[in-house]
């Protein structure tokens, strides 16, 4: 049975309602969370692509997906939702996000930790990946989005 389509990056842990410019749950920017239902397909794809790019950067520096087919099969068997059009490193993150406390043999999922991370508990590694993913999203916001919003509020006559 195919997994249900994931229609939004939301993970149900929104921090933008508390004033964060970047959601600590899904890593979208505040305006993307607010406007998601108004976005067309092109805008949504752009958000998904940015999130994937940043997440792959973080995850691929810590794990090796040596058998994407096995990983896909294991995710499907365990009913762990993932976007099949995304990188297998996003799939590996979904595996860690849902099963880090239960997985005994990561290689049975087609994934192995890179040598420098093999002694870390998977739950700690998952949390570290999540923090780094958030920091990259926040840095992206600060570098590319915030300045534009700051300038929009400046009176052009001054």
- Which is nearest to 108 in space by CA: 74, 158, 82? 74
Contacts of 95 (CB under 8 A, 6+ apart): 71, 74, 75, 80, 103, 109, 111
pLDDT value, residue 139: 96
pTM: 0.89
Give the chain as a DSSP string: -PPPP------S---GGGT-SB-TTT--BHHHHHHGGG--HHHHHHHHHHHHHHHHHHHTTTEEES-HHHHHHHHHHTT----TTS-HHHHHHHHHHHHTTT-S-GGGGTEEE-GGGTTS-HHHHHHHHHHHHHHHHHHHIIIIIHHHHHHHTS-TT-
pLDDT tens, per residue, the chain with 158 residues: 565 678 899 988 888 888 889 999 999 999 999 999 999 999 999 999 999 999 999 999 999 999 999 999 999 999 999 999 999 999 999 999 999 999 999 999 999 999 999 999 999 999 999 999 999 999 999 998 887 656 665 554 44
CA 21, 25, 27, 28 dihedral sign is negative
Domain residue ranges of the chain, discontinuous segments joined by +: 16-147
């Amino acid at each position: 049975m195919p997994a249900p389509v994931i229609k939004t990056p939301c993970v149900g842990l929104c921090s933008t309602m508390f004033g964060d410019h970047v959601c600590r749950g899904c890593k979208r920017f505040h305006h993307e969370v607010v406007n998601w239902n108004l976005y067309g397909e092109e805008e949504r794809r752009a958000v998904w692509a940015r999130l994937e790019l940043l997440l792959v950067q973080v995850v691929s520096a810590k794990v090796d997906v040596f058998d994407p087919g096995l990983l896909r099969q294991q995710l499907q068997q365990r009913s762990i939702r993932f976007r099949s059009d995304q990188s297998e490193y996003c799939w590996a993150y979904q595996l860690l996000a849902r099963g880090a406390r239960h997985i005994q043999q990561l290689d049975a999922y087609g994934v192995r930790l890179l040598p420098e991370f093999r002694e870390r508990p998977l739950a700690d590694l998952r949390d570290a990946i999540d923090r780094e993913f958030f920091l990259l999203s926040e840095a992206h916001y600060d570098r590319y989005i915030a300045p534009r919003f700051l300038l929009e509020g400046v009176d052009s006559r001054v």
